[in-house]
Copies of this chain bind each other. A is one copy, B any other.
């Protein structure tokens, strides 16, 4: 059973009626809805304005895969919670950064670059996502490509380290391309997935749900080593210099 926590900033939905109309239970609610239909997942949610942003030790220690959506309030996420999230990823927890979470603190901290740097255009253009790693678990059930009819456009240069695996590249009518599905490993597995601006019903689209569901299964750790609990012991030397 994969223990999933969907974290959402949950501000746009409360402040902008047009967003609330699309996501009446929040973006986290919409994502939790389709994920919880999978028999191998138990899903909970957490949001910025809860105590400790909903990410208590109890919650983090019982999360296998954490999804993260944030946009307007990245700076309000406490450094203490960010440190705990990153430590938990180092320990093996999967982390899936969605759309504008490219600029979130934990994603940037885990990758080590200014991940907030990219081009963007907010005019509801379409995007076509090409699969560049056919056979990768995250691309299962997707053909050679699929399209999101309306979303915010992101464009290179996306300032990330070279991904361990590049699963999707997006094409945009305006002339932009974007590395829209990127895998990284930092102890636990990390997936970045571009689509999902708050003003479009992207998370209701079937292919989007397929990719996120696949990503949760891919990112789920097989076991959780307890790195954080202590140092590794030195091994008893088989030989040392003196016995040469």
Q: Which residue of B lies closest to A139 (CB)?
A: B222
A140 interface hit (Cβ, 8 Å): yes
Chain B residues within 8 Å of A149, by CB: 241
Q: How far is the CA of A114 from the CA of B226 in the complex (A)?
A: 12
Q: Which residue of B lies closest to A141 (CB)?
A: B223
Q: Is the CB of B161 within 8 A of A162?
A: no
A223 and B135 in contact, given A90-B113, A233-B119 (Cβ under 8 angstroms): yes
A118 interface hit (Cβ, 8 Å): yes
Copies in the complex: 4
A 182-224 binary contact with B (CB < 8 Å = 1; else 0): 0011111000000000000000000000000000000001110
Q: Is the CB of B113 within 8 A of A175?
A: no
Q: Is the CB of B157 within 8 A of A231?
A: no
Chain B residues within 8 Å of A238, by CB: 173-175, 239, 244
Q: Is the CB of B222 within 8 A of A137?
A: yes
**Nearest Cβ on chain B to A141's Cβ, whole angstroms:** 9
Chain B residues within 8 Å of A169, by CB: 156, 169, 177, 179
Known: A112-B186, A128-B175, A135-B185. 12 other contacts (CB 8 A): A110-B112, A117-B232, A119-B234, A125-B237, A126-B244, A130-B155, A132-B157, A134-B157, A162-B185, A173-B239, A174-B240, A177-B177
22 sample A-B contacts, Cβ–Cβ < 8 Å, listed by A number: A92-B135, A109-B109, A112-B186, A117-B232, A120-B234, A121-B237, A123-B240, A123-B241, A131-B157, A132-B179, A133-B162, A135-B225, A144-B232, A155-B235, A156-B169, A169-B169, A169-B179, A171-B172, A174-B240, A175-B236, A176-B235, A238-B244
Q: Please name the 4 residue pairs, one residue from A and one from B, whose CB atoms are nearest each other, closest first.
A: A174-B237, A175-B238, A173-B239, A110-B112
Q: Is the CB of A135 within 8 A of B90?
A: no
Interface size grouping (class) on chain A: 35 or more
A228 interface hit (Cβ, 8 Å): yes
A87 interface hit (Cβ, 8 Å): yes
Chain B residues within 8 Å of A237, by CB: 121, 123, 125, 173-175
Q: Is the CB of B234 within 8 A of A121?
A: yes
Q: Is the CB of A159 within 8 A of B176?
A: no
**Nearest Cβ on chain B to A86's Cβ, whole angstroms:** 7
A58 interface hit (Cβ, 8 Å): no
